[in-house]
Amino acid sequence: MSADALSKLRSDALSLPEAERAELACTLVKSLDSPADPDAGEAWEREVARRLAEIDSGTAKLLDRSEFNRLMQARIPAGPGG
């Protein structure tokens, strides 16, 4: 698509009423998502069951919230002045 055609399309889209712009935006964002993995739901169910079994058997290493927060903060680089 040429730059002029893209500019016209953008201008036309921005002139739509808010509800229609929202619908268009939603459609465009959805078009960027990769196709859904049909096996993902089943794989997550297996993973959740595996993790629950580890917790029930006592083999999982569990963290309390403060330890989790400490570990996550250690992974985030300090910004300017911090």
pLDDT in tens, 3-34: 999 999 999 999 999 999 999 999 999 888 87
Give the integer Cα–Cα distance in Å for 18 and 30: 18
Dihedral sign for Cα atoms in the order 13, 14, 19, 25:
positive
Residue 81 lies in a domain: no
- E strand spans, the chain: none
Dihedral sign for Cα atoms in the order 33, 35, 36, 37:
negative
This prediction's pTM: 0.45
Domain of residue 20, residue span: 6-31
Three-class SS of residue 9? helix
Instruction: Give me the number of domains the chain comprises.
Output: 2
The verdict on 21 and 45 lying in the same domain is: no
pLDDT in tens, 51-77: 999 999 999 999 999 999 999 999 998
